[in-house]
Amino acid sequence: MKKTYYLFNPGVLSRKDNTLKFTPLDDQGNEGPPRYLPVEGVDELYVFGALNANSSLYNFLGKNQISVHFFDYYENYSGSFMPRDQLLSGKLLVNQVQHHLSKSKRMVIARSIIQGGAFNMAKNLRYYQNRGKETSSFLKNIEELSAQIDTADDPETLMGIEGNIRKNYYDSFDYIINDFVMDGRSKQPPLNEVNALISFGNMMCYSQCLRAIHQTQLNPTISYLHSPGERRYSLALDIAEIFKPVIIDRLIFSLLNRKELKTDDFDNKINRIILKEKGKKTFITSFETKLSETIQHRKLRKSVSYKYLIRLECYKLIKHIIGMETYKPFKMWW
C-alpha cells in the first residue's frame, strides 16, 4: 500500500536505482544518515524544508505518479509538483468550462458547495452544544445566513454570505476549545496558536483535495465558487470548503482539548506563531490517522475512508457536469 511521506529537514533528494534517497543536511550543510524510500510504496511527498533535487529526479517522480507539495519556513503552502495528467477527457473539459462560463450553471454548483460547508460547520456546533459547550447563538446565526444562500445570484454575493457564516463559526471556537484563545481569525500571518493550526490544517486539506482532483479527469484550475487564478488550483479551494470542518476543525478541537498539542509545541516568531517540528509531527500523525479512518457510506453501503470521501466528491461533480446526476455536496450524517 502506498504511503505519504513528510520531509521536515532540509536535504537532497535523489534517485538510487528504483529507490528515492533523501539525505538530510544540518545548518552547516553536513550530511546526515540517508533515508531510502522504495518508489513503489510512495504516494506523495510533503516538503517542509529546503530541498535540492534535479530535473531527472522530477522526471522519475512524474513517471511514477508521485506528487510533491512544498511549504515554506512559515508553513505557507508554496506549490505542488504534479505528474503529467494521465486521465484526460476533452468532453469533460469542455463541459467543465461551460459550467463555469454559464452564470446559472456555475451558481448551482457554487451554492451547493457553500451549503455543504455551512451544514458541516453547523453540525460541528451541534455536536459540541450537546456536550455542554455554549454554541447556540452562533448556530442560530449560521442557520439564518444559510437561508440566504439560495437567493444569492452571483459568486461575489455568495462569497460574502460564506464569509459571514465562517466568521460566526470561528467566533464559536473560543467556546469550544479549552485553554487556548482564538480571538478571531488571523492569517498571513496567524497571530496565535489556534490560528496557526487552522492555517496549517487548511493547507493540508487543500493539498489532499488537489491530489484527489488529479486522480480524476477534472481540471483543477476551473472552479465555481472561487474565481480561477493564474497560480492556484482553485477547484481544490472549492472542494476544501466542504471538508475543512469535517477533517481539519474536528482534528484541531480534539488535539487541543485532549492536550495532545500544548503551548510549547508552537514557536513565537516576530508577528506570527508557527508550529515547531514536534508540533507539526503531532498534527500530521493525527491528520494521517483521520484520513485513514472509515465510515459506513450510506449510498455505497460499504466502508470508505475520509481520504476517499474527497475523491468521491470529485466523482459526484463529474456526474453533475456531464448531466448524469445532480450534484449534492457531502454532509455529515453522524
pLDDT of residue 299: 86
Question: Under DSSP, is residue 67 helix (H, G, I), strand (E, B) or coil?
Answer: strand
- Same domain, yes or no: 43 and 125: no
Residue 161 contacts residue 223 (beta carbons within 8 Å):
no
pLDDT of residue 230: 58
Residue 210 inside a domain? The answer is yes
Of the residues 45, 60, 81, which one is the last residue of a structural domain? 81
pLDDT of residue 73: 82
- Tell me: the pLDDT tens digits for 292-322? 999 999 888 899 999 999 999 999 999 999 9
* Mean pLDDT, residues 56-77 taken together: 91
- Same domain, yes or no: 122 and 198: yes
* Mean pLDDT, residues 26-31 taken together: 89
Phi and psi for 92 in degrees, rounded to 5? -65, -40
pLDDT of residue 264: 95
Residue 330 inside a domain? The answer is no
Alpha-carbon torsion angle 147, 152, 156, 158, nearest 10 = 20
- Same domain, yes or no: 21 and 148: no
Among residues 276, 207, 304, the alpha carbon closest in space to that of 248 is found at: 207
- Grid coordinates of 56: 531527472
- Grid coordinates of 179: 485553554
Residue 310 inside a domain? The answer is yes
- Tell me: the pLDDT tens digits for 128-180? 999 999 999 999 999 999 999 999 999 999 999 999 999 999 999 999 999 99
Q: Could you give the C-alpha distances from 222 to 101, 163, 234, 249, 321, in angstroms and in order?
A: 10, 21, 7, 26, 12
Of the residues 33, 59, 81, which one is the last residue of a structural domain? 81
Alpha-carbon torsion angle 277, 246, 164, 100, nearest 10 = 100
pLDDT of residue 86: 60
Residue 241 contacts residue 121 (beta carbons within 8 Å):
no
CATH number at residue 223: 1.20.120.920
Residue 106 inside a domain? The answer is yes
Largest CA distance in the chain: 61
- Same domain, yes or no: 147 and 290: yes
- Same domain, yes or no: 216 and 301: yes
- Same domain, yes or no: 97 and 57: no
pLDDT of residue 314: 97
Residue 91 contacts residue 322 (beta carbons within 8 Å):
yes
Residue 181 inside a domain? The answer is yes
265 DSSP assignment: G
Number of residues that make up the chain:
334
| % the chain with pLDDT above 90 | 84
| Low-confidence winner among 61-65, 74-78, 116-120, 153-157 (lowest mean pLDDT) | 74-78
Residue 167 inside a domain? The answer is yes
Examine the pLDDT at 102 and tell me if it is beyond 70: yes
CATH number at residue 52: 3.100.10.20
Examine the pLDDT at 3 and tell me if it is beyond 80: yes
- Same domain, yes or no: 250 and 168: yes
- Same domain, yes or no: 55 and 121: no
As a whole number of angstroms, the distance between CA 32 and CA 23 comes to: 6
As a whole number of angstroms, the distance between CA 197 and CA 167 comes to: 17
The domain in which residue 190 lies consists of 90-321
What sign does the dihedral 125-128-134-136 (CA atoms) show?
Answer: positive
Residue 185 inside a domain? The answer is yes
Among residues 108, 28, 76, the alpha carbon closest in space to that of 323 is found at: 108
What sign does the dihedral 293-298-302-308 (CA atoms) show?
Answer: negative
pLDDT of residue 89: 79
* Mean pLDDT, residues 253-271 taken together: 93
- Same domain, yes or no: 68 and 125: no
- Tell me: the pLDDT tens digits for 197-213? 999 999 999 999 999 99
The confidence band for 232, taking pLDDT boundaries of 50, 70 and 90, is confident
The confidence band for 17, taking pLDDT boundaries of 50, 70 and 90, is confident
* Mean pLDDT, residues 228-243 taken together: 88
Residue 58 inside a domain? The answer is yes
Domains contained in the chain, number: 2
pLDDT of residue 27: 85
- Same domain, yes or no: 172 and 46: no
Of the residues 39, 64, 81, which one is the last residue of a structural domain? 81
Examine the pLDDT at 85 and tell me if it is beyond 70: no
- Same domain, yes or no: 142 and 240: yes
- Same domain, yes or no: 305 and 160: yes
Grid-cell match 507539495, residue found: 69
